[in-house]
Chains A and B, each alone.
Chain A
Amino acid sequence: MDALNLAILFTVDLLALFSVYLIIDIGLNIQQGITGIPNFGILFAVAGGAYITAGLSTRLALPILGIQTNLDPISENVSILQLVNPVLSSHPVTAILLFVLFLIIGGAAGTIMGLIASAPAIRLREDYLAITLLAFGEILNVIGAGYTPLIGGPPGVDLPDVLAWAGEYRFYAASFVLLLVAVIIYAFAGYVIKTPFGRTLKAIRDNETVARALGKNITHYRTASIMFGSLLCGIAGSLWAMYSTAVTPTLARFDWTFLPWLMILIGGMGSNKGTLVGTAIVVTLNKLITYYKYAFVGILPFDVIWLNYLLLGIITILILIYRPEGIVKETSQTRQPSARKTASKQG
């Protein structure tokens, strides 16, 4: 394979990962960056979206496609998909409808996880809340591994390939679809942050007592924020499951909690644009480290698998010391019309 092809494959694969992370990071930024809820348990919503989509996908695809079988959708999942996937690849419209349905399921699952996580989030603050939510993040892996009807236990389960209609271009089409969803969500979140709703969330983050004195219902807004953020995380989990067409109960804390936090930290908390920048930087760096680290086998005095952790850890420390506010600073949106007029006159 020539270098150009390799570069294209690398980039296309990177775009899919970037899209999934961008959606998660936007969800995390709304909670941590905009509202000040340190959600270390976003894995809860991501895994909720991924596992519930995966668990329901084959069960729903069978009746929708009108396939009759006595096989069990979870334990005999591979045999069933040999029946389902050919139908999906020849019925693009149905496949796309299923894709949308699974996205909605993922979003709904994430929202429910958010509602559950909001129970501690409206009662606890800062470090206490962070620790509690961190624990929440681990729960679904335990359930997923222990309760086989969900996603088949440790071996996991495969999903019907709702992107199979693209045939030999499936790899490219999948990345494109993921990117499209991410871009729509990016624009949507940018809008929401600029509304008076977003402004109220920021006010609560900056000073909860004063916000209460100004008549804001803090419980209501914290719940709304965590549910909205979790909705996005659930969508991301569902997208990731559909993209990889397989899910195991092993979504890792490093990948789905630490990396998103690092991304919003580097990009700049509270800024939608910063989230985009941070996501792009960290996804690319992590991928490059993974790709090139084996070149250092024998040169480094330790196992190269630790390079991702090591280098990204160093970057985290450097960012916290030298640019704690991140690359893109939070900007305010509502301007005084008269001031803008004066400024443009002077300009």
Chain B
Amino acid sequence: MASLLQVTNVKKAFGNLRALDGITLNVEDKTVTILIGPNGSGKTTLLNVVTGFLKPDEGSIGFGSADITGLSPQQIYRAGIARTFQIPAMFGKLTTLENLLVAEKNHPGESLTKSLLKRLWAQQEKDAIEKASKILELLGMPEQADKPASFLSGGQMKLVEIGRALMSDASLYLLDEPVSGVNPTLAHEIFRRILSLREQYGITFLIIEHRLDIALKYVDYVNAMVSGRLIAAGPPKEVINDPKVIDAYLGA
């Protein structure tokens, strides 16, 4: 199986704190991989480096066959990597549907000059609304479409974050704690939908999550990080029985 994301020897320091200390990690194509590790082990920093929000001090990041090291977040989004945030961040005054529409790629109506002539963008807008409605259906929240996003519950916001990422037709999704603070039923539901998305569209997920009780049932691979380094990687059973992981993260 080909690896879709290759992080090679990436280092990132904030002053004296070495958040990423030469991490090397691969995400295989069309898999669901989770990234675990104690708080402060560099998981979110890694995600920020991969998506261009932070520039790595050293090392390289490959996506498919391209080198995306040091590109801007816009360029990386266009290349096909979409992400969500740990704290669900909505465009609060836009509706749920509009939140998804903002994520539409290469929309001509988003340029000031082209927006002036409606026929230049009306068709893509129509298609985008159709696509967004389908995604909301898939996420089980079509009734929320016209509600302002700030009225949604925390769990629903998590779903909208995933939905917004799905609008991009990206091939790799980086989800930062998609089920934290979500009730167990909905959390299972979110993971089941992630699996069905993988089946339907052949997309790849790298997920940061602490809720191992739920996540481990659904994922193909687990990567464990401690102090900015990868300490274990492999199928769930292997990794959670690794003494190093038990010692650093899972506890006795």
Contacts and interface: CB of A to CB of B under 8 A. Distances in A.
Interface of A: 192, 195-200, 202-203, 206-207, 209-217, 224, 228, 270, 330, 332, 334-339
12 contacts: A195-B109, A195-B118, A197-B112, A199-B101, A214-B77, A215-B74, A332-B93, A332-B146, A336-B129, A337-B133, A339-B143, A339-B146
A214 B103 contact: yes
Interface in B57-90: 73-74, 77-78, 82-83, 85, 89-90
B121 to A, nearest CB: 6
B127 to A, nearest CB: 12
Interface string B96-117: 0111011111010111100110
Given A211-B102, A212-B74, A202 B93 contact: yes
Given A196-B121, A197-B115, A336 B145 contact: yes
B95 interface: yes
The 5 closest A-B pairs by CB, nearest first: A196-B109, A215-B77, A197-B115, A195-B115, A206-B91
Contact of A195 (B104, B121, B129): B121
**Interface size, B (range):** 35 or more
Contacts of B235: none
Contact of B97 (A212, A214, A336): A336
A228 to B, nearest CB: 7
A257 B85 CA distance: 38
Given A213-B85, A217-B74, A202 B146 contact: no
Contacts of B85: 209-210, 213
A214 B164 contact: yes
A40 to B, nearest CB: 22
Interface of B: 51, 53, 73-74, 77-78, 82-83, 85, 89-95, 97-99, 101-105, 107, 109-112, 115-116, 118, 121, 125, 129, 133, 136, 142-143, 145-146, 148, 164, 168
Contacts of B125: 196, 334
B234 to A, nearest CB: 30
B244 to A, nearest CB: 33
A337 B142 CA distance: 12
A212 B73 contact: yes
B146 A335 contact: yes
A270 B91 CA distance: 14
A197 B109 contact: yes
Given A198-B115, A211-B102, 15 more contacts: A195-B115, A195-B118, A196-B101, A199-B110, A206-B92, A216-B74, A228-B112, A330-B93, A332-B93, A332-B146, A334-B101, A335-B145, A337-B133, A338-B133, A339-B145
A139 B92 CA distance: 36
A336 B146 contact: yes
A55 B74 CA distance: 43
B93 A270 contact: yes
A190 to B, nearest CB: 13
Nearest to A198: B115
Contacts of A332: 93-95, 98, 146, 148
A215 B112 contact: no
Given A207-B91, A270-B93, A334-B129, A215 B115 contact: no
A177 B133 CA distance: 45
Contacts of B112: 192, 197, 224, 228
Given A196-B110, A212-B73, A215-B78, A203 B97 contact: no
Contacts of B121: 195-196
A210 B78 CA distance: 14
Contacts of B99: 203
A125 to B, nearest CB: 16
Contacts of B129: 334, 336-337
B76 to A, nearest CB: 8
Nearest to B102: A203
A207 B89 contact: yes
Contacts of B136: 336
A198 B104 CA distance: 14
A330 to B, nearest CB: 6
A335 B77 CA distance: 26
Contacts of A209: 53, 85, 89
B98 A199 contact: yes
Contact of B91 (A196, A202, A212, A338): A202
B103 A197 contact: no
Contacts of A224: 112
A159 to B, nearest CB: 31
B164 A334 contact: no
A334 B95 contact: yes
Nearest to A215: B77
B98 A212 contact: no
A335 B101 CA distance: 11
Nearest to B147: A332
Contacts of A211: 91, 102
B91 A210 contact: yes
Contacts of A203: 91, 94, 98-99, 102
A68 B99 CA distance: 61
A215 B145 contact: no
